[in-house]
Structure 1
Amino acid sequence: MWTVRSARRAAGAVIAAAALVAGPAALAAAQDGPSGAGSGGSGGAVTNDVTLDLDRGGVMSAEESLFFGGEPPEEFTRTFVVRTAYDSDHERRYAVSGVSAEDGDGKPVEVDVDTTGNTLTMRFAPAEQVTLRYDVRGGVDRVGQRQELEWAAVGGYSAPVETTTVQVDAGAPPVALACAAGDPRSSIYCTSSDMGGHEAVVARFTQARLEPGQQLSIVVGYPAGTMNSEAILDRVWSVNSAFAITPATTTVFGLVLVVLVGGLVALIRVRSRDERALRAEAANGEAPPLRRAGRGRMRFHPPDNVHPGQIGTLIDEQADVVDITATVVDLAVRGHLEIRELSHRQFSAVDWELTATGGPAGAEGGGGGGDTEGPEGAEHTGGVEDTGTGDADDPDDPEGGRDDGDTEEPPDELLEYERLLLTALFRDGGSVRVSQLNGAGDTEGSERAQRFTEELAAVRDEMYRDMVRLKWFARSPNLERNRWTGTGITITLAGVALTALLAVFTHAAFTGLAVIIAGAAVTVGAQYMPAKTKLGSAVYAHTLGFSRFLHSAAAEDIPVDEGRRVELFSRYLPYAIIFDNVDHWARALARAGAEELDRDDLPWYHGPEEWRISDFADSITMFSLTLSGIISNSRQFKTLK
């Protein structure tokens, strides 16, 4: 619908002034129109007189006197646009009611009223003359310092209009007029407009020929307070309106952000204090991981007697691919299985055979010697050498480093997750090729790979339970992450639902975004929710010191007994896998093997006939990468890639 704002732009003050000058003559000519049209055969064209009376409540009572020239049509329709765009958030609605009609003799004429979408249509069978009456609410709006009536006084007729006159009476002198005639979006000024002179209360408009579908739109301005009425506005949905940024929504949104940022700052402060404490504790793990054992030998003794898989799970709070790979190598070093590299023509086609030994006693000279007493007091020894107890340099050692030559150590006991891993590897026999774990070969190989994948889930769960048994975590890190992830997803979904409801029924959907952000933050932050206990933090600090030792120590500077470097460096290797320093210690082990061993072989790693000990660094690196790839492809570990 043509609006007051477009009328002012189209016409302007100059045109309005010109209309005041030309108005009386044009009006006189137009007033002769109805009688002439009524008698002249204009082929069904209509002439009409329209009066619009406004009361104090802003209700407009309209009366249209229609004169049909020639033979009246069988049906005549008058269509109103009762909904128009107002702004980005609202539609303006015109409420039409009280529709009635009568012919020239005062007899009622039946009018059918139909509202469809944004239009209201009146239909009736016309006589030579018909008077149409109706009331309109919502035609008056407050604009700046005045009130304005905006209405399509003539239009939506199913027959052409020969001439028309419109009179508007609000009981108060108008202060401004504007009009437009033609198509609904036309800005062409009407034939004439007239405020009736000084202190006149009636505004007049005239318009010559209007075709079906064309209209005469008028705007009449009155002083503020003339009527107690404003436009009827219906809120319409839009992205802009639903997510309106208002003081209220920004306040709520800001409060949520302050809480999130405040929590982050608090977390950083707490972690900073932990880091300072960790730096002090880490120094306890930087010493060479050695202890003098039976017969005065220096033996491997990791900080807090932790196994590689335990260290890996403790560090990143996840039992992941590298932890399983390091555990397999550690089991080989300790004599529970052997790794045999198979003959191959291309380096990319290498495969390995894993063989169960039944424990260190079954290993041929295994590389396992060392002290691996568990944090709970259970002592685990290596695969070959007996390891004494006591430390000559430790004043708290009740044995005082005594070496009576009869010291015996208990056998190397497997942790539960290590036992489950060996079962997963060798459930179908005493040996398995690495390629078979990936489903290579026939259907039997695929079934074996499937079983291996399923049993890895039990291994992983047991590694988490091990963290709780050791009192390094109060609750399983995995369960803690899942709980917070579930909480975050729930909050996010609730935020989405809340935002949708707010968007449909209010302007405050912007507030719901804060809930979505909070839920997303909790979901992402769930990875950091597992909290170590005080004991777990201390052990973690020691492992950091151990990591620095493995990254900085020179192999030749480590105080180890002559002929024992292969054994010691073999024990270092699984931990080096965890700390991503495999190449350094693999090459150190290869050099030690070349010097101490009389064959191109290691007690726990055997190469093909053409293989040399100098190839070990490349071989163990390829083995770690291949096994890690197979494990990461399993369903239980895909999320940890």
Structure 2
Amino acid sequence: MQRHLRALRHLSSRTSNAGRRPVTAGRIATAAGAMLIMVGGLMFGPAGIAHAEGSASNVNVTGTLDKNGTFRVDQQITFSGSAPGNVSQTFETSETLVGNRSREFELSKISVTADGKQLSPQIKTDGDLETVSFDPAGAKSATLSYTVTGAVVNESGTPALQWRVLQGLSMPVDKFDAKINIPGAFSYVRCTSGPPNATTPCTSASAGVSNTPTFTDGPRGPGEVVAIDIGFPAGVVAINEKIDEHWTVARAFSAKPLPLGIALGLLVLGGIGLLVAHRRIGRDSQPTNEIHKPAEFVPVAEGQAEFRIVGDIRPGHVGTVVDERVDPIDITASLLDLAVRGHVLITELPRQSTYARADWRLTRAAEGEAPDDLRPFERELLEAVAPQGESVLVSELGTRVHQDAVAGVQSALYDEMVANGWFQRRPDATRNTWTRAALAGLVVAVVITALLAIFTEFGLVGITLILLALGLMFIGQEMPARTAQGSALLAGLGALRSDLLTTPTDRMPAGRELSELSEVLPYAVVLGGADRWLDGIVAADDDDDPDPEDLSWYHGPSDWQLSDLPHSLQNFVTTVNGTLFSR
């Protein structure tokens, strides 16, 4: 092109230089002719070269739409000049829709003829693209035939044929025309052309004659499309579109009205069901007898009262009846009660250094020296922490006392809950039954949730099932139900707790202050108010002398005083709990 422009400038300078050389009519004509030839070469030369390399002078499509929605297409390609060595056409078999969906098309019965001769095309599928390639072998025209399923879509409740009758062709097209045979009356015809997804109208789209819409367009470049859209009244042709829902988290756990409504309804009904189950199964029976406190402060003189146990109810019983569990504090309070009753002596050992760890020796009373009043769980506890004839250090309990022994104490205490008539069934067994049911429900709910999330939009329903299973696990811990006798005892324990929190600690019988206050202490440990009763023991010390053996059940080092008891006992309880239950 630069060469042509330089020639034009050169020619112009020669024609304008009249002073040096006369201009004649012949020279002007010659120059004008040269300019026309060069301009013509610029305008038509490249196109002529591309045309010769292989293009389609005409693409004619004849389509037939059956009443069942099947669309059969015959596409005749007439080549300009010699046919190219290879022709390919790529079809998009998937159309992306809003809402993580796609419309899928299926091509079948693909065949190619060239000048009437049957060819063997190569068909390649790559994801959502299906490419048909063939060698026309020098033919003047070739016909590509195929059948497409899924092109009749649901357009606002009525069928519409939507298909790119020209798409993905590997060569430019000078002229395009299409004729579509349809099974009945149509509502509208539309046509767009250009690059994929273009909205430019085709050259023409008309009704044609005898229900045969026709379309024309061109020229079109390689890969450009001509898309037709023919609408029909309901019932004229069957809708056969195939919509694929693509998996996403938003789709799997859709908040659409239907899945959300089902999930919320199920959550409400399930929650009500859990509450009803707890009220009917896990509710305590109402006490039928008169409520009595298991222990009380009985006046014995003016301004004096002693602590008396009514019945055979021990601190371990008290704690288990209150919260339906054998907690570490119940075991430790039982050990303190055994010491107060003379079955075991707790001796705090001198520290080896200022910052050394505190330790205690547990010495069991010799046979015959302690009262014969042990309950089965107390006997199990003594055998575990202080076997007969031995002295055991608290620091050694971790290696001497196995978890089976601790579990045996807890099991024996649960058995006594039933034996004494306070629970109809062991609380731990009741909790275990409901926990197993909840775990089974949780596994099923997780599986259902996974299936719903993978295959449907109802993942929220599965989440609701998981929440209900977790709710059952929580409610199951509250399912142990007290009998009428157990409820009466619980009410009495509430009254006793009030006494422990309000009764003055300085009104014990004279001379028996330490023993009476000591009897109260294990019950105060499980019900509350232990600090004030420890302070009462400290206040009962009327001198500044060391008190290593003033208490019958707790001895300290030689310089130990009763004022050290709160700190010593707190350390003892914490250490025993940690040693027995933190493994």
**TM-score range relative to shorter protein:** 0.7 to 0.9
Question: In 2, distance between residues paired with 1:239 and 1:308?
Answer: 54
Pick closer, same or farther for the CA change 1:416–1:195 going to 2, 3 Å: same
Note if contact 2:284-2:487 (Cα within 8 Å) is conserved in structure 1: no
Secondary structure of the structure 2 residue equivalent to 1:609 = coil
CA deviation after TM superposition for structure 1 residue 418, in Å: 1.6
Question: In 2, distance between residues paired with 1:453 and 1:602?
Answer: 31
CA deviation after TM superposition for structure 1 residue 274, in Å: 6.0
Matched letter for residue 526 of structure 2: I
Question: In 2, distance between residues paired with 1:456 and 1:101?
Answer: 86
Match of 1:136?
A: 148
Matched letter for residue 118 of structure 1: D
Corresponding position: 1:46 with 2:56: yes
Structure 2 residue corresponding to 1:602, chosen from 551, 560, 570: 551
Matched letter for residue 328 of structure 2: V
Structure 1 residue corresponding to 2:579, chosen from 620, 624, 630: 630
Match of 2:569?
A: 620
Match of 1:498?
A: 448
Matched letter for residue 133 of structure 2: R
Match of 2:41?
A: none
Question: In 1, distance between residues paired with 2:229 and 2:320?
Answer: 78
Question: In 1, distance between residues paired with 2:503 and 2:50?
Answer: 116
1:214-239 Cα deviation digits (max 9, x unpaired): 43333333444442334233454444
CA deviation after TM superposition for structure 1 residue 515, in Å: 3.1
Structure 2 residue corresponding to 1:356, chosen from 358, 363, 373: 363
Matched letter for residue 629 of structure 1: G
Note if contact 2:505-2:532 (Cα within 8 Å) is conserved in structure 1: no
1:74-113 Cα deviation digits (max 9, x unpaired): 4433221222234537532223222222112x11112343
CA deviation after TM superposition for structure 1 residue 429, in Å: 7.2
List aligned pairs for 1:505-584, cutoff 5 A: 505-557=455-507, 560-584=508-532
Note if contact 1:151-1:219 (Cα within 8 Å) is conserved in structure 2: yes
Question: What count of residue pairs does the alignment treat as equivalent?
Answer: 528
Matched letter for residue 148 of structure 1: A
Match of 2:169?
A: 157
Structure 2 residue corresponding to 1:337, chosen from 329, 332, 344: 344
Secondary structure of the structure 1 residue equivalent to 2:99 = coil
1:453-499 Cα deviation digits (max 9, x unpaired): 44212222222122122222222111111110000111111122223
Note if contact 1:80-1:119 (Cα within 8 Å) is conserved in structure 2: yes
Secondary structure of the structure 2 residue equivalent to 1:344 = coil
- In structure 2, the gaps of 5 or more residues are 1-46
Question: In 1, distance between residues paired with 2:458 and 2:366?
Answer: 68
Note if contact 1:343-1:350 (Cα within 8 Å) is conserved in structure 2: no
Note if contact 1:76-1:158 (Cα within 8 Å) is conserved in structure 2: yes
Match of 1:425?
A: 385
Corresponding position: 1:288 with 2:299: no
Match of 1:374?
A: none
Structure 2 residue corresponding to 1:487, chosen from 423, 426, 437: 437
CA deviation after TM superposition for structure 1 residue 49, in Å: 2.1
Pick closer, same or farther for the CA change 1:610–1:149 going to 2, 3 Å: same
CA deviation after TM superposition for structure 1 residue 147, in Å: 3.6
Secondary structure of the structure 2 residue equivalent to 1:288 = strand
Match of 1:27?
A: none
CA deviation after TM superposition for structure 1 residue 249, in Å: 7.7
1:387-423 Cα deviation digits (max 9, x unpaired): xxxxxxxxxxxxxxxxxxxxxxxx2422222222222
Q: Which shows bigger deviation, 624-633 or 214-223?
A: 214-223
Match of 1:325?
A: 332
Question: In 2, distance between residues paired with 1:472 and 1:347?
Answer: 48
1:179-221 Cα deviation digits (max 9, x unpaired): 1421x3x435155233258998423141323234x43333333
Match of 2:30?
A: none
Question: In 2, distance between residues paired with 1:594 and 1:173?
Answer: 113
Question: In 1, distance between residues paired with 2:431 and 2:352?
Answer: 46
Structure 2 residue corresponding to 1:586, chosen from 526, 531, 534: 534
List aligned pairs for 1:156-175, cutoff 5 A: 156-170=168-182, 172=185, 175=188
Match of 1:110?
A: 120
Matched letter for residue 620 of structure 1: L
Note if contact 1:303-1:542 (Cα within 8 Å) is conserved in structure 2: no
Question: In 2, distance between residues paired with 1:286 and 1:461?
Answer: 23
1:307-360 Cα deviation digits (max 9, x unpaired): 111111111111111111111211111112222222238886441322323259
Pick closer, same or farther for the CA change 1:475–1:173 going to 2, 3 Å: closer
1:274-293 Cα deviation digits (max 9, x unpaired): 68x59x965x328734498x
Q: Which shows bigger deviation, 571-580 or 140-149?
A: 140-149
Pick closer, same or farther for the CA change 1:455–1:348 going to 2, 3 Å: farther
List aligned pairs for 1:54-133, cutoff 5 A: 54-69=65-80, 71-88=82-99, 90-104=101-115, 106-127=116-137, 128=139, 129-133=141-145
CA deviation after TM superposition for structure 1 residue 606, in Å: 1.6
Question: In 2, distance between residues paired with 1:309 and 1:156?
Answer: 85
Note if contact 2:538-2:565 (Cα within 8 Å) is conserved in structure 1: yes
Question: In 2, distance between residues paired with 1:76 and 1:334?
Answer: 105
Note if contact 2:333-2:526 (Cα within 8 Å) is conserved in structure 1: yes
Note if contact 2:103-2:242 (Cα within 8 Å) is conserved in structure 1: yes
Question: In 1, distance between residues paired with 2:311 and 2:217?
Answer: 101
List aligned pairs for 1:362-377, cutoff 5 A: 362=369
Matched letter for residue 231 of structure 2: G
Max radius of gyration: which structure? 2
Matched letter for residue 61 of structure 2: V
Note if contact 1:339-1:355 (Cα within 8 Å) is conserved in structure 2: yes
Match of 2:275?
A: 264
Question: In 2, distance between residues paired with 1:287 and 1:340?
Answer: 28
Pick closer, same or farther for the CA change 1:346–1:540 going to 2, 3 Å: farther
1:557-604 Cα deviation digits (max 9, x unpaired): 4xx432112111101111111123221111111222447999453221
Note if contact 1:281-1:542 (Cα within 8 Å) is conserved in structure 2: no
Question: In 2, distance between residues paired with 1:596 and 1:281?
Answer: 48
Q: What is the Cα-based RMSD across aligned positions, in Å? A: 3.6
Note if contact 1:286-1:545 (Cα within 8 Å) is conserved in structure 2: no
Match of 1:459?
A: 409
Match of 2:395?
A: 435
Match of 2:18?
A: none
Note if contact 1:190-1:206 (Cα within 8 Å) is conserved in structure 2: no
Question: In 1, distance between residues paired with 2:208 and 2:187?
Answer: 10
> Percent identity over the alignment?
30
Note if contact 2:191-2:215 (Cα within 8 Å) is conserved in structure 1: no
Pick closer, same or farther for the CA change 1:271–1:235 going to 2, 3 Å: closer
Matched letter for residue 519 of structure 2: R
Question: In 2, distance between residues paired with 1:593 and 1:570?
Answer: 13
Question: In 2, distance between residues paired with 1:596 and 1:265?
Answer: 62
Question: In 2, distance between residues paired with 1:596 and 1:533?
Answer: 51
Note if contact 1:176-1:222 (Cα within 8 Å) is conserved in structure 2: no
Matched letter for residue 313 of structure 1: T
CA deviation after TM superposition for structure 1 residue 40, in Å: 8.0
Pick closer, same or farther for the CA change 1:580–1:46 going to 2, 3 Å: farther
Question: In 2, distance between residues paired with 1:73 and 1:417?
Answer: 99
Matched letter for residue 318 of structure 2: I
TM-score in terms of structure 2 length:
0.80
1:511-566 Cα deviation digits (max 9, x unpaired): 44443333221111111011112222222222221111111111134xx4321121
Note if contact 2:175-2:218 (Cα within 8 Å) is conserved in structure 1: yes
Question: In 1, distance between residues paired with 2:483 and 2:366?
Answer: 33
Note if contact 1:161-1:210 (Cα within 8 Å) is conserved in structure 2: yes
1:51-91 Cα deviation digits (max 9, x unpaired): 32323333222111123445544443322122223453753
Matched letter for residue 573 of structure 2: S
Corresponding position: 1:187 with 2:190: no
